[in-house]
Amino acid sequence: MGDDAARPMTRRRRRRRSGAGGRRRRTRYHHGNLRRALLDAALALIERAGADALTLRGAAKRVGVSQAAPYRHFRNKEALLAAVAEEGFRAMAEAMGRQAAPHRDDPAGRLRALGLAYVEFATRHPAHFRVMFGRVPADRAAHPGLQKAAKEAYGLLAGAIRDCQAAGVVRSRDPEELALCAWSAVHGLSALVVDGQLGERARQLEPLARAVTDNVVRGLAV
Amino acid sequence: MGDDAARPMTRRRRRRRSGAGGRRRRTRYHHGNLRRALLDAALALIERAGADALTLRGAAKRVGVSQAAPYRHFRNKEALLAAVAEEGFRAMAEAMGRQAAPHRDDPAGRLRALGLAYVEFATRHPAHFRVMFGRVPADRAAHPGLQKAAKEAYGLLAGAIRDCQAAGVVRSRDPEELALCAWSAVHGLSALVVDGQLGERARQLEPLARAVTDNVVRGLAV
DNA sequence: ACCTGAACACCGTTCAAGT
DNA sequence: ACCTGAACACCGTTCAAGT
């Protein structure tokens, strides 16, 4: 699998690797990693021109393969989108975990950090966010990996709520219900921003995100 | 109401023009109300099979006109969707106002009622909701009617917040910011439900909606 | 095993032409 | 004034065929 790959048709770019030894350790697109390449191309297309600007044919062309090639790696367009969404949930959970880490001993602070991280991820990766929460996979059960990744992100929120309850800073009620209250608030703000519903106000987002998370924690308090 | 007609499954069908009398009293589709008919057809199609199952050609066929006819009434597909969204915001504001009416003298109760009405509208009219908050009209400024209708619904929430402040039951802070907190919470719950993110939990929605709105009001309280 | 080319049944949109 | 028919440049998806 040398570097003399196929001849992509339109403007594409060769992943620089080569050098000495030909250790194709990096993402090898045309040979060996079409799946990865299509995922990246899909995200780039969505990021550039909106969620329904994504076209299987367009992604294939961008990567330099025929329009039929993607079907080697994804059952259909929905499967591609589900895979993108799954990666999004994973990245979001990772970002949330990272930003929550410093608040290991302060569950209320952690809850706040998780909420802010949620909004931050959504607004920094609107394309991913839209795919994650779009009606893309009509049948979620058909994509178990997606479902699992989504639950992982939500679980961070629910866990923080439970820790808050154990620490006596959140009222004792069904933690699932309270977690949903928190989730709704940060998800709502994220969705409003990402869908452009806030207009000018979205320019100064952080104070708003802080107001929303603060209000959540106030509402949850004993 | 009154859509006793329009059943052209596949082939187009001529709307029979009454056997005797010819009193085109009902919504006269082909002559005089194609616009209205297209709006109804669009909503029906979205309701039946999802937001991107809507097709200009499909709507035209459903109504019994040629594929080019819609362009007499809408500049393009986006304009049709913007019109659907505008009607949705109007209907939502109407429903919110109706459910808030009994709480004229109790601003906190009114705020709660508005929130519940918001969620109820979203879950009872998921198709409308998706179009209202989709990325459909990329440029919102290009559809002033839509923008105005959306602000009207939001204004009900903001007004209730201000009345709550005047009554001393909500802390005095920028009412716009607090209104956004309330909006985020009910919008987030609505979006999660409509997008199927809650799975089984959405079966018993009302307790959840009540928990969310209660938590909002608790957070806003002095 | 992985990809291509051609094909099918769709789209949104435009435009000359009909009535 | 309002609509039709045909056309163009796209789609998602399938399938026989190439290497």
pLDDT in tens, A63-86: 989 999 999 999 999 999 999 999
Residue A144: pLDDT band by 50, 70, 90 thresholds?
Answer: confident
**Chain B CA closest to residue A187:** B188
Top mean pLDDT of A75-84, B12-21, B51-60, B209-218 is at B209-218
Is 90 exceeded by the pLDDT of residue A38? yes
Are the CB atoms for A147 and A140 separated by under 8 Å? yes
User: Is the CB of residue A219 less than 8 Å away from at least one CB of chain B?
Assistant: yes
Q: How far is B211 from chain A (nearest CA, A)?
A: 7
Which residues in chain A have Cβ-Cβ distances shorter than 8 Å to B216?
185, 215, 219
Compute the distance between CA of residue A53 and CA of residue A171 in angstroms, rounded to an integer: 45
CA of A190 to C1' of C8 (A): 41
The larger pLDDT score, comparing residue B207 to residue A199, is at B207
Which of A 125-154 lie inside 8 A of B, CB atoms? 130, 133-135, 138, 140, 150
Which residues in chain B have Cβ-Cβ distances shorter than 8 Å to A51?
135
Of the listed ranges B19-28, B89-98, B128-137, the least confidently predicted one is: B19-28
The larger pLDDT score, comparing residue B57 to residue A49, is at B57
Looking at residue A221, its pLDDT comes to 95
**Is the C-beta of residue B142 closer than 7 Å to nucleic acid chain C?**
no
Residue B137: pLDDT band by 50, 70, 90 thresholds?
Answer: confident
DSSP code per residue over A133-184: HSS-SS-GGG-HHHHHHHHHHHHHHHHHHHHHHHTTSB--S-HHHHHHHHHH
Give first-to-last CA distance, chain B, whole Å: 45
CA of A57 to C1' of D9 (A): 14
Looking at residue A20, its pLDDT comes to 28
Looking at residue B31, its pLDDT comes to 56
The mean pLDDT of chain A is: 84
Which residues in chain B have Cβ-Cβ distances shorter than 8 Å to A136?
none
Q: State the pTM of this model.
A: 0.85
Q: Do A191 and B188 touch (CB under 8 A)?
A: yes
CA of B60 to C1' of C16 (A): 21
Looking at residue B141, its pLDDT comes to 77
